[in-house]
């Protein structure tokens, strides 16, 4: 593979930053072993009808607006879907138009107005309408060195230019509609007098000039951000419940656009949970918890966990977006229909073309880290939960079984989880 950073016709990062600072577009190529394509990148803050029209004419026409998570949160732009199936994990949000000063939203002047609204220093959610003709993207907090995509590269370039970390990007295509590769991108840049650079060169520049670089959010806020943390604390209050009083903390998950809840109970000695805290990581289940469904044990497990944690001190983390082991409520009900026809809980999911278990527990590990807890006694029967938390740096000193909620209606379900998913359940559960 050729080295794009030494290819003739590649501009320096300083040249690219100077163009962006002047309101001009640049072309940025990624690696041959990634998407192997080039994007037009320009500042949203400085966008004009002319620069947007130029970008549309040389691209697929789909304009994206990468931004930091802090700004996306400020504008209340949730991710488009709970389960991101994009090959590169690009964090698409809902689409938007400017709320004021536009007509249909699709013209170059309208889209320029929209991206400028997104980049406003005092922008609020009401400044844009949903849906619209511009597609905002959330950049990961660690920047282009954490994820080497055009989303992160564009936000880094805005930061280096001293501009609001909101960009405009569009994938460049040739006259036949196919993606341009590096030689064609260099020729386009030469013909149009537009700097062409690469993500590889940007990363090398940052490694040289910012070995302990700030996160891309630093251009928008002075608050420290954990470079690779995708949850952030949004609310903190006391919550009295039938099980006792807990401190309730809401954490926004930037990847899937939902709020998780951590319920923290003091120990009997009146101290906050410390090392080897008793912890339950519980997946959302509206059918079992709100409606008392007998097809699963989720409701009784949550009640038992809250009672035990309140008695002994500890933490219950309630993860949203896990309905039906991560397939969503409607798909869970469809899986129930297939179970009525004789399929077990795993085969029902697979019959629908869905994973047997799509849950990701990384948010729970990040919440525990934020609470200063890295060693836990985990209330669970699920070995995958143990493995995932360990993979994310949480030491499991003890697995505490949680054997409640067995009913005539869920015996087969529990047996399938034991026999096919490795859940540690009693051998006398019928249906084995």
Residue numbers in the known binding site for GTP are 280-284, 301, 323-325, 345, 380, 385
Binding-site residue numbers for Mg(2+) are: 35, 150
397's enclosing H/E stretch is strand 395-400
In whole angstroms, what is the distance from residue 294 CA to residue 329 CA? Answer: 16
- Among 64, 94, 66, 69, residue whose Cα is nearest residue 79: 94
Plot region of 257 (φ>0 → left; ψ -120 to 50 → alpha; else → beta): left
370 is catalytic: no
Catalytic residue, chosen from 253, 344, 357, 360, is 357
Binding-site residue numbers for D-ribulose 5-phosphate are: 34-35, 39, 147-151
- Among 149, 49, 20, residue whose Cα is nearest residue 89: 149
CA distances to 13, 27, 100 from 206, rounded to whole Å, are: 10, 18, 38
Binding-site residue numbers for Zn(2+) are: 285, 296, 298
Decide the pairing of beta strands 26-29 and 277-283.
unpaired
Identify the bridge partners of residue 356 per DSSP, sorted by sequence position: none
Under 8 Å CB-to-CB from 213, ≥6 apart: which residues? 143, 145, 206
Helix axes 108-118, 49-57, angle to 10 degrees: 110
Binding-site residue numbers are: 34-35, 39, 147-151, 280-285, 296, 298, 301, 323-325, 345, 380, 385
357 is catalytic: yes
Catalytic residue, chosen from 138, 201, 229, 359, is 359
In whole angstroms, what is the distance from residue 307 CA to residue 377 CA? Answer: 15
Report DSSP letters for 79-99, one per residue: BS-SS---TT--EEB--EEES
Which active-site residues does the annotation give? 357, 359
């Amino acid at each position: 593979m050729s080295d794009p950073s030494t290819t003739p016709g590649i501009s320096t990062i300083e040249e690219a930053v100077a163009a962006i600072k002047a309101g001009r577009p640049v072309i940025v190529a990624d690696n041959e072993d990634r998407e192997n394509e080039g994007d037009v990148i320009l500042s949203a803050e400085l966008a004009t009808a002319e620069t947007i029209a130029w970008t549309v004419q040389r691209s697929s026409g789909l304009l994206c607006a990468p931004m930091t998570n802090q700004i996306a949160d400020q504008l209340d732009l949730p991710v488009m879907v709970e389960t991101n199936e994009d090959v590169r994990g690009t964090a698409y949000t809902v689409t938007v138009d400017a709320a004021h000063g536009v007509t249909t939203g699709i013209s170059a002047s309208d889209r320029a107005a929209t991206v400028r609204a997104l980049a406003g220093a005092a922008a609020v959610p009401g400044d844009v309408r949903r849906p619209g003709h511009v597609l905002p993207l959330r950049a990961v907090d660690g920047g282009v060195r954490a994820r080497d995509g055009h989303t992160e590269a564009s936000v880094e370039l805005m930061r280096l230019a001293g501009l609001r970390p909101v960009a405009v990007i569009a994938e460049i295509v040739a006259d036949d509609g196919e993606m341009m590769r590096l030689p064609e991108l260099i020729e386009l840049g030469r013909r149009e007098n537009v700097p062409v650079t690469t993500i590889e060169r940007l990363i090398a520049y940052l490694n040289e000039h910012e070995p302990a670089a700030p996160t891309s959010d630093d251009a928008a806020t002075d608050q420290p951000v954990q470079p690779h943390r995708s949850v952030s604390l949004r609310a903190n209050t006391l919550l009295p419940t039938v099980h006792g009083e807990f401190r309730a903390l809401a954490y926004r998950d930037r990847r899937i656009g939902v709020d998780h809840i951590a319920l923290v109970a003091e120990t009997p000695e009146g101290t906050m949970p410390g090392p080897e805290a008793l912890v339950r990581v519980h997946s959302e289940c509206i059918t079992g918890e709100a409606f008392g469904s007998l097809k699963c044990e989720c409701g009784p497990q949550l009640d038992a966990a809250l009672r035990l944690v309140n008695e002994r001190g500890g933490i219950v983390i309630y993860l949203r977006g896990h309905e039906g082991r991560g397939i969503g409520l409607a798909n869970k009900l469809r899986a129930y229909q297939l179970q009525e026809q004789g399929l077990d809980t795993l085969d029902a999911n697979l019959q629908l073309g869905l994973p047997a278990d799509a849950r990701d527990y990384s948010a729970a590990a990040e919440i525990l880290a934020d609470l200063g807890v890295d060693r836990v006694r985990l209330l669970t029967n699920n070995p995958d939960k143990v493995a995932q938390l360990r993979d994310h740096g949480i030491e499991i000193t003890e697995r505490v079984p949680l054997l409640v909620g067995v009913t005539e209606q869920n015996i087969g379900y529990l047996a399938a989880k034991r026999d096919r998913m490795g859940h540690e359940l009693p051998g006398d559960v019928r249906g084995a």
